[in-house]
Structure 1
Amino acid sequence: MMTNVHKNTISFLLGSSFAYIFIWLSGVVAAMPVPEFLQPYNEFVVPYYSNTLIVLFASILSIIIVLIVRKAFTFISKQNIFYFALPIVLFLVSIFVFLNFAIAPLMYAAIPTLLVALIFSSGAQKA
């Protein structure tokens, strides 16, 4: 049986790994070519295409990982969400303080991830 300390530690480590995943995901999306059918629309492609892909891929990846964690460890609670979100928020704050220019793509990945975790935790609380 897992104690709360073990569950919170796993949640903290999972949140820390997501901080790395955000950087990896932003790099992968930045390297993706724009599809040919979108290339004539420069006013859309430049500001929105990569951010839309980051939100989409971060959401899908978050859902998959949170479902796996929920199946494997059978826990997601509000306290676990706090320890999951803590390294993500601290990472984003440190990036904002030291590298102000790099925060936007990471925010596009962090917000859907935190929302997915919050939705799954509230669903687990009701069950």
Structure 2
Amino acid sequence: MTKVLKNIISFLLGSSFAYIFVWLSGVVVAMPVPEFLRPYKEFVVSYYPNILIVLFASILSLIIVLIVRKAFTLFTKQNLFYFTLPIVLFLASIFVFLSFAVAPIMYAAIPTLLVAVSLSNGAQKT
């Protein structure tokens, strides 16, 4: 597989993650808080969706990036750049036009970018 094709696939994967962030935020916010967490006054109910977004985004991105890494046989720094470019551009456009919607999407984007960076560093060292 040529480098150009790998970069295009990385760019398309990053673009699809921008959609996944919006979808994941909507799904998680619609989930009810479990009954066993409601009696705890220290636990603020508004933090529950954010915690779930971080957990689900990390697990989902880990699975997808590992599958892509198997297909590419190497997830390099150049692939990482083309993967993060649409995500960062999407976050910048959301910040400019819909600044109230940035926080839930950031809760999904940061774990995804951390997983991608850690897997690309692991690929470079081996």
TM-score band, normalised by the shorter chain? over 0.9
- Superposed displacement of residue 72, structure 1: 1.7
Any unmatched runs of 5+ in structure 1? none
CA distance in 2: counterparts of 1:108 and 1:14, whole angstroms:
19
The separation in 1 between residues aligned to 2:110 and 2:6, in whole angstroms, is 23
The residue matched to 1:44 in structure 2 has which SS?
A: coil
Aligned to 2:23: 24
Q: Could you say what secondary structure the match of 2:108 adopts?
A: helix
Taking the aligned partners of 2:2 and 2:44, their CA distance within structure 1 comes to 48
**5+ residue gaps, structure 2:** none
Question: In the alignment, what sits opposite 1:108?
Answer: 107
- Aligned ranges 1:14-93 → 2 under 5 Å: 14-41=13-40, 44-93=43-92
TM-score (normalizing by structure 2): 0.96
- State the Cα RMSD in Å: 1.0
The structure carrying a bigger helix percent of its residues is 1
* Contact 1:38 1:45 (C-alpha < 8 Å) held by counterparts: no
For 1:106 and 1:43, locate their aligned partners in 2 and report how far apart those are by CA, in whole Å. 25
Matches of 2:56 and 2:44 in 1, distance apart?
Answer: 17
Distance in 2 between residues matched to 1:124 and 1:38, nearest whole Å: 40
Quick one: which amino acid aligns to residue 99 of structure 1?
A: L
Distance, in Å, in 1 between the alignment partners of 2:41 and 2:12 is 40
Alpha-carbon distance in structure 2 between the residues aligned to 1:68 and 1:88: 19
Alpha-carbon shift at residue 43 of structure 1 (Å): 5.1
Give the TM-score taking structure 1 as reference length: 0.95
Structure 1 segments, 4+ long, off by >4 Å, are: none
Deviation at 1:42, TM superposition (A): 5.1
Mapped contact 2:58–2:115 kept (Cα < 8 A): yes
